[in-house]
Structure 1
């Protein structure tokens, strides 16, 4: 197979794999979009699932690249390749941090809406349960955010939104100065660990606010 054909095939496989991944994430999110759990039956659920994948996916790839540096890419052209990949990682993290922020804020507002008077009709979605049942479920979820587990929300904000965004800016500035690739690689590993912790806190909060109330 010619080199050009091989590149086209790899590109096609990459596109198909990406599309399959997006569909798989959507299907997984739909498991939680059920009328019996009004706390999850909201578009913020899909956003949270996608933002988690878009945050951790590139970071894990960055970790693999950092650990494989020198073997995955020939040494003579390795540095420009890694610096470009780090720049793309930084831009991706900025976009994903914004997406994660929207998802968290939207879900928090959705749950808190049950505590602010009548439930807005626009937030009832397609749930086939009574309005008061929805209000009760959302109110319980909102109280979880304000109760003994309230510390999980700032942890999620800090590690899943603020830390990746600040890291992206720092990574850009580091390469702008021609900083060490080894140091950048170690930093990528560190931010990945923090992001995983943030997503774990967020997912814990997701399940805690969706506990049965009947």
Structure 2
């Protein structure tokens, strides 16, 4: 599949936004997160960010010319995505340095800036696809989908690390459950709009419903929801095994959903 690099890039870039904002927010609220844990998480996010950048270039016909894409910043959402996402990863590197130096005040300040830049980067990424020629993409659902991936994957990713060290002092399952419920509501609204839309939109819905990945995503989504409900109700279930399992299942679910996003869209 030609769009596989984009599937991987968009999922990973959204994952690190959610993970970064979660770590920064938790660090602002309490002193429980150790220097070792902070560094472990931020370095992991940097590695994922580096992988996502390398994978994204595989989609280009001539990867060596990728830096020239920024020249159209004033008119191109793709150029804006490249600039803002690159800046976001660079700010994570600086944030990591202040974890190393144990300078909480400066990493709090950098966290504010990086979070805003990261949100703009994901917004730019979504805007690339919101074009009239693809009815299934040209709507607010694309924005919701990209940011919900951040909410679904990022907090659970960080929770798995922090529970390993016994440093998570909030019931993060609440946020994840709310994100899952909102994702389901958005999906219902999205498919309802497709079925009531242009013939190309109806065809996108039909292709999606007939695809095995759609039903596999429902199964993985349901499993993740069950795991998170258990962790919400039972403090003994808020451990690294449960959060890691929930993250893996949700990651697979999001990959399946993003594959369908590209695979089933019909051009006018």
Greater CA deviation, 38-47 or 99-108? 99-108
Pick the aligned partner of 2:216 from 155, 159, 167: 155
Give the CA RMSD over aligned residues. 2.2
Instruction: Please state how far the C-alpha of 1:66 moved relative to its aligned partner.
Output: 4.2
1:108 aligns with 2:191: yes
- After TM superposition, the structure 1 stretch with the greater mean CA deviation from structure 2, 57-66 or 18-27, is 57-66
Residue 135 of structure 2 corresponds to: 38
| Residue segments in structure 2 that go unaligned for 5+ positions in a row | 1-101
Q: Give the TM-score normalised by the residue count of structure 2.
A: 0.56
Counterpart for residue 165 of structure 1: 225
Equivalent residue, structure 1, for 2:241 = 186
In 2 relative to 1, CA 19–158 (structure 1 residues): closer, same or farther, beyond 3 Å? Answer: farther
Deviation for aligned residue 1:95: 1.6
Change beyond 3 A, Cα 1:145–1:91? same
Whole-angstrom CA distance in 2 between matches of 1:158 and 1:170: 17
Q: 2:177 aligns with which of 70, 89, 94?
A: 94
Q: Secondary structure at the match of 1:31?
A: helix
| 2:152–2:179 CA contact under 8 A, matched in 1 | yes
Between the aligned partners of 2:231 and 2:109, the Cα distance in structure 1 is 30
1:158–1:12 Cα change, 3 Å: farther
Partner of 2:107: 10
- The answer to whether the 8 Å contact 2:135/2:267 transfers is no
Q: CA deviation at 1:92?
A: 1.2
1:49-91: per-residue Cα shift (whole Å, max 9, x none)? 1111111111221233345x2xxxxxxxxx4x33x24x1x211
Q: Which has the higher contact order (CA 8 A, sep 6+)?
A: 1
